[in-house]
């Protein structure tokens, strides 16, 4: 048996060098090990090293939103704002908008508009038969209102002259200042009614 020397200086009984008999291609175990290391490196690179508050959600955002001036790190994951968060509360509410618009508009007074206050002469009055009300102006800017139903038999008064309110049925007359009886047969004064003047409009309350 003859010993032959190999390329690396070692000899084998068969005359072949140990180095010459190895397969130069990478083994399967080496390939899997390399792939695993590359994947692990990618996972570590994607993780954020920023400090996360104790009560933060999965995205690392605390319940009250991110701190002012805080910027998410390059590896941090972001998620869309949840319903009810600060991102959605920035849009104006429909109810709030309608409330502000209605506040700008002048509120209409409650009651029945009888007519224009400027149509009632000083020292006289106006009779509103539909509402059964007589409105007088004894002095400038002073308005009084009474029932237009005569207290005698229920006829409607039909005129305001010479400081009195007249009934056409039996001639009863009442004062324009307080509705008191000036001439019978009416047994009692005309009941007072409540009014107010808003923007030159006589409004029955």
* CATH number of the domain that residue 140 is part of: 2.102.10.10
Let me know if residue 131 belongs to a domain: yes
Let me know if residue 139 belongs to a domain: yes
Let me know if residue 180 belongs to a domain: yes
Q: How many structural domains comprise the chain?
A: 1
What's the confidence (pLDDT) of residue 156?
Answer: 95
Q: Encode pLDDT of 155-205 as tens digits.
A: 999 999 999 999 999 999 999 999 999 988 999 999 999 999 999 999 998
Let me know if residue 65 belongs to a domain: no
Residue 134: domain span = 121-204
Taking CA 58 as the corner, what is the angle to CA 55 and CA 65, rounded to the nearest 5 degrees? 55
Distances (CA, A) of 112 to 124, 127, 167, 200, 203: 21, 14, 24, 14, 5
Let me know if residue 55 belongs to a domain: no
Let me know if residue 99 belongs to a domain: no
What's the confidence (pLDDT) of residue 148?
Answer: 96
Let me know if residue 163 belongs to a domain: yes
pLDDT at position 22 over 50: yes
As given in the structure block, the two tokens for residue 39 are: 């994947």
Q: Which residues contact 183 (CB under 8 A, 6 or more apart)?
A: 164, 171, 172, 173
Average pLDDT, the chain: 73
Q: Which residues contact 101 (CB under 8 A, 6 or more apart)?
A: none
* CB atoms near residue 180 (< 10 Å): 13
Let me know if residue 158 belongs to a domain: yes
- Assign 120 a pLDDT band (cuts: 50, 70, 90): very high
């Amino acid at each position: 048996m003859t010993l032959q020397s190999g390329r690396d200086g070692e000899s084998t009984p068969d005359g072949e060098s140990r180095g010459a008999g190895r397969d130069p291609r990478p083994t399967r175990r080496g390939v899997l090990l390399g792939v695993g290391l590359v994947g692990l490196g990618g996972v570590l690179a994607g993780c954020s090293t920023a400090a996360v508050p104790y009560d933060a959600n999965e995205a690392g955002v605390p319940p009250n939103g991110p701190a002012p001036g805080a910027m998410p790190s390059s590896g941090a994951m972001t998620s869309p704002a949840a319903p009810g968060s600060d991102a959605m509360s920035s849009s104006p509410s429909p109810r709030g908008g309608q409330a502000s618009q209605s506040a700008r508009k002048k509120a209409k007074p409650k009651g029945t508009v009888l007519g224009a206050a400027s149509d009632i002469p000083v020292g006289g009055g106006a009779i509103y038969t539909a509402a059964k009300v007589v409105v007088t102006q004894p002095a400038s800017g002073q308005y009084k209102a009474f029932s237009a139903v005569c207290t005698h038999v229920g006829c409607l008064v039909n005129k305001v002259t010479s400081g009195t309110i007249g009934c056409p049925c039996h001639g009863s007359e009442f004062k324009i200042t307080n509705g008191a009886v000036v001439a019978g047969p009416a047994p009692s004064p005309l009941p007072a009614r409540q009014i107010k003047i808003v923007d030159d409009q006589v409004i029955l309350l």
